[in-house]
Amino acid sequence: MQHGGPEGICNSLKTNSATGIKNFNDQERQDRVAAFGPNSQVPPKIKTLFELIMENFDDQINRILLIAAIVSIIIGLIQHGWPEGMLEGTSIMIALCIIIVVSSGNNYASEQRLAKLVAMADKQMVAVYRKGKSDETTTIDYEDLVVGDLVDVAKGMKCPADCMLVSGQNVKCKEDALTGEPDDLDKTPLTKENYLLGKDCIMFAKSLVSNGKGQAIVLAVGDVTEAGKIQKKVQEESEGPEPTLLQQKLNTIADQIGKVGYACAGLTFVAIVIRLILEMTEVINCGCKNLITCEAPVIIPSGDKKGEFEGCVKLDFLDFGNRFYTELLNTVIIAITVIVVAIPEGLPLAVTISLSFSSAKMQKENNLVRNLASAETMGSVTHICSDKTGTLTQNLMTTMACMVHQRSFR
């Protein structure tokens, strides 16, 4: 109303409801793109390779493997030196690297394929009036549309932008992609006679023209369209994927292994500390490793030191150079080693390789697995529950509100 009807809108956009933009050229196109933006929407966010690599450490067992590799290298260097001390830690690190390379490489390739599929899905050609003639059109890519263009709309095509219908017959649109409602909505051309009556003449981007044909003027393109606003909002609010059933099971296994490993390490540490205390209080002989029968290759035969190891230095925690602290350090190293040994570094590697093969097999069946961990879930699907818009749901129905009606009886 405030623009003065269809003629006022056309004058504001410097276009014509019968012939489109007058004297269209490259400079005109650049000016309109600069003023209203291009007709391209924000593509789905494609994760970088670095982000995909870091996602591997969201898995608890991978974090444990990384810590175990670092600790194994440190302990190995302390006990055995270079290069023998690097063997165990390096083997764990190699297994972890294989997991990261396979998982991240598969997910990165899937992200690139997804971007191409999305671009192909939106691709379409439209007929536009740009030669100053009402009976001659030019076919262009929908991304080349600018605000003010006069386009042909016909049954079976998707609206390339938010448009105002200015002429046509029996035009109907399905807006289920935007609203979820599958019903056909009548679209009435906007004229000088009906623009004050509130007629529905707007055809939204991504809505399907289910019937009729006509001409419409582009009012908004790209991110400014209603579909573009919705898509941008959804991408901003999207969260990371929930862990799959397999990931939950692996995390449970990691927790259980961790608890058992910590318990064994704690018991080992306590047992060795008790032995050190018994030796310090002379309950057992100096340097004796066996609490029941003290055995040694060389034992002093007589004197007060009978049964002690030859050359054994008694424990003394006051002297920092005493073997007490060396024994205590070895005790800590043994406890940590018990934890590291308890971790099955081959388990996540085997799972990742098997999922990679499954993902490749599913891709041959035209089933694109975007996240490698989802291959296990998709591989066991027998039925897909979706609503009328085709949106995948959680296969759950939850009561969101309940109303109680009170009735009175006489």
| Residue 324, SS3 per DSSP | helix
Backbone angles phi, psi at 231, to 5 degrees: -65, -40
CA-wise closest residue to 338 among 262, 272, 274: 262
Alpha carbon distance 309, 299 (integer Å): 5
Alpha carbon distance 17, 216 (integer Å): 8
Alpha carbon distance 288, 290 (integer Å): 6
Alpha carbon distance 204, 183 (integer Å): 15
Ramachandran quadrant class, 153 (left: phi over 0; alpha: psi -120 to 50; beta: rest): beta
Say what the pLDDT of residue 306 is.
44
Alpha carbon distance 241, 358 (integer Å): 20
Counting beta carbons within 10 angstroms of the beta carbon of residue 280, is it exposed (0 to 12), middle (13 to 18) or buried (19 or more)?
Answer: middle
> What are the structure tokens assigned to 403, written together?
């109303």
Look-up: residue for tokens 């051309």? 189
126 contacts 113 by C-beta, under 8 angstroms: no
- Tell me the whole-structure pTM to 2 decimals: 0.55
Say what the pLDDT of residue 313 is.
72
Pair type for strands 184-186 and 150-154: unpaired
Domain ranges for the chain, please list them: 5-21+145-233, 40-124+346-377, 243-343
Where would I find the beta strands (DSSP E) of 221-366?
A: none
Look-up: residue for tokens 């509130």? 198
> What are the structure tokens assigned to 187, written together?
């679209």
Residues in contact with 107: Cβ distance below 8 Å, sequence separation at least 6, in sequence order: 47, 52, 55, 370, 371, 372
H helices present in 244-289, as ranges: 245-280
Tell me, which fold does domain 5-21+145-233 have in CATH?
A: 2.70.150
> What are the structure tokens assigned to 287, written together?
């340097």
Residue ranges in the chain modelled with pLDDT below 70 = 1-4, 41-44, 118-119, 121, 197-198, 235-242, 287, 289-311, 319-322, 345, 368, 370, 373, 376, 379-380, 384-399, 403-410
> CA geometry: angle at 115 spanning 114 and 119, to 5°?
115
| Residue 69, SS3 per DSSP | helix
CA distances from 9 to 4, 14, 22, 46 (A): 7, 8, 15, 38
